[in-house]
Amino acid sequence: MKLKVVVHEADEGGYWAEVPAIPGCATQGESFEELLKNLYEAIEGCLSVDVKPAKRTRKQRVVEIAI
């Protein structure tokens, strides 16, 4: 999976970044290398949120896919 990330230079130094495809997914770092490390952790955390199982009826199916 590839995601676009918007990286900003912070006014107080360092960097912060947001992932537009995942609302609310953002992080920061004192260096660019630290920012990248934190981005991987933030994205993994945002994508691993538990979601309630969908309600099913006889005419519906729930299918899980990997991307």
- Give a three-class secondary structure readout of the chain: CCCCCEEEECCCCCEEEECCCCCCCEEEECCHHHHHHHHHHHHHHHHCCCCCCCCCCCCCCCCCCCC
* Assigned CATH class of 1-67: alpha beta
Q: What is the pLDDT of residue 54?
A: 62
Q: How much is the CA Rg of the chain, to the nearest whole Å?
A: 16
pLDDT tens per residue across span 16-56: 999 999 999 999 999 999 999 999 999 999 998 766 766 76
Predicted TM-score (pTM) of the model is 0.69
